[in-house]
A and B are shown apart, each in its own frame.
Chain A
Amino acid sequence: MPTITLNKSVFEQLVGKKLPLEELKDRISMLGTDLERIEGDEIEVEIFPNRPDMLSEQGFARAFSSFIGVKTGLRKYDVKKSGFKVIVDKSVTMRPYTTCAIVKGLRFDDEKIREIMQVQEKLATTHGRNRKKSAYGIYPLESINFPITYIAKDHTQVHFQPLGFEKVIQASLVPETHPKGKTYAHLTQGWKKYPFFIDAKNNVMCMLPFTNSHDTGKVTTKTKDVFVECTGNDLNNIQFALNMITTTLADMGGEIYSLDIVYPDQTITTPNLTPTKMPFDLNYINKWLGLELNEKQAKNLLERMGYGYEKGTALIPAYRADILHQVDIAEDIAIAYGYENFTEEIPNVSTIGEEDPLEKFINVLRELFVGCGCIEVKNYHLLQKEQCNEWLNQTNQGITLKNAVGEHNTLRHSILPSLLKTLSENQHNEYPQHIFETGHIFNLSNSTETGIQETQTLTLAICHDKADFTQIRQHLDLLLTLLGLEIKVKETAHSSFIKGRVADIYIGKEKVGTIGEIHPSVLENWKLMMPVVTFEVNVEALFNAVKR
C-alpha cells in the first residue's frame, strides 16, 4: 500500500497544532492510517486505498486537523470561471473522458515540484489503478494556447519532444523508447490511434497514457499558474481525481479556475467542488454502531471528519471518492467517536455450536493412528510439478497453476509425494518412521463449478529396514475393523509400486484407495535409502460408507 512521508514541522504548520509525540502517533493510527515510522523530522504514514485524498501532505494534514478538532467541518474551495475551453474530439474512443482545471498563484520551489509530481504518481497508481483507469498531467499555463483539443491520432503522423528527451521524435516510438512508454505500453494493446492534448497553436502537450511533451509540459520554479488534466474511461473517477489534485494545489495557496469541457454531445464544467449531499438515518447508524448519538453529537463527529451537516443530510467533501452508502458515513462517525471508546458487549443470543461432521470424522482417524504410534505430518497442498509426475513414475498428474512465482506450482493429486518428501528429508532421524497426513487432493472433473474435484484424503506411510506389505495391510485392516467396514483388496498394476505388491481398495464397487510397497526406482528418485510401504484412502468415501 502507498505511503507518504511528512515533514513534521511543515505538517504541524498545516495542521495548526503541535501534539506531543506519543499523542501524535496514537492519533495518526486512530484516524485510519497506519503509522509506519517517525524518525527525527520525518513521519511516514501508510494510506489505505479508500482514501487517496490523503496521499498528499496537504490532504493528510487537512483530514488530521479536523480529526483532532483544530479546523473542523467542510472546507470551502472557491472555483472561478477561467472562460477557457477544452474540446473533446469524437475520435477519442479508447480513453474517452477528460476533466481539466487551472490553478493560479502558486509558488513552486524544487521541493514543492517534487511533491506535486509524487502526489500525481501515487494517485495514478492507486486511484488510477496504474494509469489503467485514469492518468493525470500538470502543465505550466503560460506556454499553452486555448482552446485545447483532446483528440486521437495515428501516432506515426505526430511528432513531438517527450519529457526527458533531447529531440523531437515520431510519437510511434514512445511506447518502445520512453521509460513511461515501456511501463504503460500494455494498456494500449490493440490501439490504432493514441489520444493527444494539442493546443490552439498545434503544439502537442502530451501523449496518453505515457508522457507530457518537453515544450509545454515541464513545471519549473518560475511556474505560477498551471493547467491540470485528468483522462480515463470513467468520468466519475477522473472527476474525483481532479478534485483531489486541485484541492491539494489550493491548500498549497493556489486559486482554482474551471474550464468548459466540450464533448460532441454535451458540455460540462470542471472541476465541480460542490459537496455531494447524502441523507442518512441516524437511527440506522446508531443501531449499526451500538451508540445512542443525538443529532448534535452526530453533526460534531461528522465535522471532525471534514463533512458538513444539514438537517439529516451529510455534505460530503468533493474529494472523497469512497462514500457509497450511509454505512460509509457510519464508519467515519465511528472513527471520529474513537474506536478505542467502543466498549465490548456480549449479547444474550442463544445458538448451538456444531463441528463439521467430516472434520470430526477426520479427527477420529487422526486419534486412531496417533494411538498406533504414528506421527502426523502436514505438507503444503502445492508441490513441484515433477514431484507429482516423474518422481512417482507417473505422467499428467497434478494441476499446475497459471502464475506461481515460487517453485511450488502444482496442486497435488495424491498425498503420497508429500509423504515421500517428508521421509526423504528425515533420513537423519530415528527409524522406524510411521507417518500419516490428511488433506485435500485435486483432480479434474466435469461435475464441479470450478472443474476441479477436491477430495479429503488420508495417507499412511511406514518406512524402516523391514517395512513390508503385511505391516501396512495390518494398519489398513485395523482402520476398517474399527470403523466396522468391509473392504476388498484387489491386485492391480501401478507404476509407483512394486509389481505384485500393490492393490486397489474397494468398499462394495467403489474404489476408495491404493495400498502397496513403493517401487525402488521411485525411492531412488526421492533419494530414499529405506523401503516404504503405504496406503492412501478417500476419507469422504469412508465417511459416507460409515453413515450408511
Chain B
Amino acid sequence: MDLSSLIAKLHPFERTVLPVLKKHQDLPSIIEHSRLQEIEVQRALQWLENKDVLKISTDRVKIIILDKNGIHAQLHGLPEQRLLHTLTDQPQSLLQLQQKTNLDIQECNAVIGLLKQQQAIDIEKKDQLYLKLTSTGKNLQKQKSSAELLLAKSFPLPYDSLTKTEQTTVENLRKRKELLHIDEQKNITITLTPLGKQLTTADLGAQVINRLTPGMLKDGSWKTKNFRAYDVEINVPKITAGRKHFDNDALQYIKHIWLDMGFKEMTGNYVQSAFWDLDALFVPQDHPAREMQDTFYLDGKAKLPPLWTKIKDVHETGANTNSKGWQYTFSKEESEKILLRTHTTVLSAQTLAKLKREDLPAKFFAVGKVFRNEALDWKHLFEFYQVDGIVIDPNANLKHLKGYLTRFYKKMGYSKVRMRPAHFPYTEPSLEVDVYHPVKKQWVELGGAGIFRPEVVKPLLGFECPVLAWGQGMGRIIMEYWNITDIRDLYKNDLKQLREAKLWLR
C-alpha cells in the first residue's frame, strides 16, 4: 500500500496518535499526550501495528509497590527508626517511649528485639523496662539505614533498577507485615517501523469526513470535503436475528417433502386411549411394549367409540378378516387406559376410521411428538418426534413402499435405502428401513415400515385394502446436521445456540 492511500484510510484515533509517536514510545505518555482514552489509544496502536506502521512490544517487569505500613513508614519513618531517634543515653521507661513514638506494644516489642540484635540499646529491668542507647546506637542514629534509603525512593519502583544490596533489603522488608509487595506489570512500548517513521513526518492532510450526516446533505458541505477511506476488509461486531427453533426448520422441511409428494397432514392429541394407540393397531393386550415401564399412563378411563366391539372381535377371533386373531379374551378395561401416545401411528388408525371408499386412493403423513417413559440422558428423550405416513391404495404393494421411502430419503440427502425384515404387531410384512450414510459409509437404521395387517385395516376402514405404513425417527438426521452428540442438546434452549445455529439448507 502506498503512503497516500494509507493516509486516506487513517481513523481519527490514528491521526491523533501518530504525531505523538515521534516523541513518545511508552503507553502512559502516549495516552497523556494524545489526550485520548486508554482504550482508544490501544485500538489506534493495534490498527497501526496491523498496517505495519509500528511494533508493539510488551515487557513484563517486576515492580515494588508500597502497602499500608510502607506508606506510613515513608511518611513517619520505620518503627525501629522512630524508636532509635527517640532514645538517648539516659534510660527511659517503655511507657514513656511508647507515648513519644506513638508505637503500640507489639510494634515496640518487635523493634526492641531488632535494636538489641544490632547492640544499639541496653535494657534495664526495674518496675518496668528501661532503655538507653549504647555507643553503637549513637553511631546508628547518625547514619541512614538501608531500609530508610530504599523507602526514600519514589514508588512504584522497578525491581530491576535496584542494586543487589537494595534488592536484599527489599526481600527483608517483604517479610514484614503489609510493608511492600512485588507485582508483575505489563509495560507496553512501541517501535516505529521505517514506514512508521515516514508516516509520522508525512503530511496527514486536511480534515476528512468520518461520517456522512443528513446536515451535510442538506447544506452541501460534503462537496468540499474528503471521506476517510475505511478498511473494508476488517471484521465488524456480530449481530443476531430472530430465529425459529432449528429443529422446526428441519421438521418444516420434512413436512414439505410429504406435501410435495401429495400427502395430507394428520394431527391429533398427545393424550390418547390405549384403544386408539394400541388395540386399534392389533397390538395384543399382553404385548411387552404395553408394560408400565415403556408407556406413560394417566389416571382415569377413556370413553371408547362404538368401533371398540369390532376391534374386540378381531383380537379375540379374527372376526371377518380370515385371521385366527390372538385367541384371548379382550379386556375393555385395558382398552380404556389413558396414556401419552407411544407413536404417531395412532393418528394413522384414527385417519383410517374416518376414511370412506370414495376417498381412495389417499396418502397421509404426520410429523409429531411421541412419548416413552424414560429418564433423560445423553441417548434418551422421553418426548421426541416421529414421522408417520400411510398410503391407502387398492393397488399398493411392497415395491411402492420402498419407492415412497426411497423418494423421501433422496430429498433428505440419502440416495440409497435398504429394507430389512423386522417385526411389528400391526404390519405384515414388517421391515426396518436403513439409509446409506455417504460419509460414514455405513447403513443407518431410521425406522420401521410395512403393510398394515388386514386385522388393522378392515375394522377401521370397513373393507380390505392394502395400506402402506411407516414410522421413522428423524432425530439422528437432525442431530447430525447440527453436530449434536448429546440428544438433550436438541431441546436445551440455550439462546446462544439458537441464535447462532446454522440455517437448514438441504
Contacts and interface: CB of A to CB of B under 8 A. Distances in A.
A334 B398 contact: yes
Interface in B255-292: 255, 258-267, 269-273, 286-288, 292
A83 interface: no
A354 B265 contact: yes
A379 interface: yes
A32 B422 contact: yes
A342 B259 contact: no
Max count, chain B CB within 10 A of own CB: residue among A234, A236, A449: A449
Contacts of A347: 393, 395-396, 400, 403
Nearest to B275: A449
Contacts of A20: none
A293 to B, nearest CB: 13
Contact of B261 (A234, A353, A440): A353
Contacts of B264: 351-354
A358 B265 CA distance: 11
A384 to B, nearest CB: 12
Interface stretch (B1-9, B173-181, B493-501): B493-501
B407 A288 contact: no
B318 A49 contact: no
Contacts of B324: 324-325
A359 B286 contact: no
A396 interface: no
A334 B340 CA distance: 34
Interface residues of A, number: 87
A166 B93 CA distance: 96
Contact of B466 (A32, A288, A346, A376): A288
A402 B267 contact: no
Nearest to B466: A288
A359 B263 CA distance: 15
B393 A349 contact: yes
A202 interface: no
Given A405-B375, A406-B375, A49 B265 contact: no
Interface in B294-353: 296-305, 318, 321-328, 338, 340
Main secondary structure on A side of the interface with B? loop
Interface in B428-480: 428-431, 451, 453-455, 466
B418 interface: yes
Interface string A440-480: 10100000011110100000000000000000000000000
B186 interface: no
Interface in A345-389: 345-347, 349-356, 358-359, 363, 366, 369-382
Given A325-B454, A429-B494, A450-B338, A351 B259 contact: no
B298 A379 contact: no
A144 interface: no
Given A335-B421, A351-B263, A355-B265, A375 B323 contact: no
Contacts of A435: 495
A380 B487 CA distance: 13
A383 to B, nearest CB: 11
A32 B423 contact: yes
Nearest to A234: B328
Interface in A25-49: 29-33, 48-49
A25 B272 CA distance: 40
B278 to A, nearest CB: 14
A371 B242 contact: yes
A377 B382 contact: no
Interface string A3-23: 000000000000000000000
A376 B246 CA distance: 9
B417 interface: yes
A349 B363 CA distance: 10
A426 interface: yes
B373 A403 contact: yes
Contacts of B453: 325, 327
Contacts of A327: 428-429, 451, 453-454
B244 interface: yes
Given A351-B362, A403-B297, A406-B376, A454 B466 contact: no
Nearest to B453: A327
Contacts of A401: 296-298, 340
A290 B258 CA distance: 23
For chain B, which range describes its interface: under 10, 10 to 19, 20 to 34, or 35 or more residues? Answer: 35 or more
B383 interface: yes
A133 B284 CA distance: 13
B297 A324 contact: no
Contacts of A340: 418-419
B318 to A, nearest CB: 7
Interface in A235-290: 236, 287-290
Contacts of B399: 289-290, 342-345
Nearest to A360: B265
Contacts of B496: 429-430
Contacts of A381: 270, 369, 383
A328 interface: yes
B410 to A, nearest CB: 10
Max count, chain A CB within 10 A of own CB: residue among B398, B425, B454, B491: B398
Contact of A326 (B252, B322, B429): B322
Nearest to B325: A324
Given A324-B318, A324-B325, A379 B493 contact: yes
Contacts of B62: none
Contact of A290 (B363, B400, B417, B425): B400
Interface in B363-385: 363, 369, 371, 373-376, 382-383
Contacts of B187: none
Given A326-B322, A331-B429, A370-B244, A346 B398 contact: no
A132 interface: yes
B265 A356 contact: yes
B361 interface: yes
Contact of B397 (A289, A366, A402): A289
A539 interface: no
B15 interface: no
Nearest to A374: B242
Contacts of A289: 397-399, 429
Contact of A408 (B382, B397, B418, B455): B382
B197 interface: no
A370 B242 contact: yes
A394 interface: no
A325 B318 contact: yes
A476 B263 CA distance: 35
Nearest to A322: B423
Contacts of A77: none
A406 B376 CA distance: 7
Contacts of A118: none
Interface string A282-313: 00000111100000000000000000000000
B494 A132 contact: no
Given A331-B428, A340-B418, A399-B298, A353 B493 contact: no
A289 B491 CA distance: 41
B11 interface: no
Max count, chain B CB within 10 A of own CB: residue among A33, A347, A371, A379: A347
6 contacts: A31-B421, A289-B398, A347-B396, A363-B252, A380-B382, A425-B494
Interface of A: 29-33, 48-51, 126, 129, 132-133, 234, 236, 287-290, 324-328, 330-331, 334-335, 339-340, 342-347, 349-356, 358-359, 363, 366, 369-382, 399, 401-408, 411, 422, 425-426, 429-430, 433-435, 440, 442, 449-452, 454
Interface of B: 240-245, 247-248, 252, 255, 258-267, 269-273, 286-288, 292-293, 296-305, 318, 321-328, 338, 340, 361-363, 369, 371, 373-376, 382-383, 391, 393, 395-400, 402-404, 406-407, 417-423, 425, 428-431, 451, 453-455, 466, 491, 493-496, 498-499
Given A129-B286, A356-B265, 7 more contacts: A344-B399, A351-B263, A358-B267, A401-B298, A406-B382, A449-B302, A450-B338
Q: What 3 pairs between A and B have smallest CB-CB spacing?
A: A290-B397, A32-B421, A48-B423
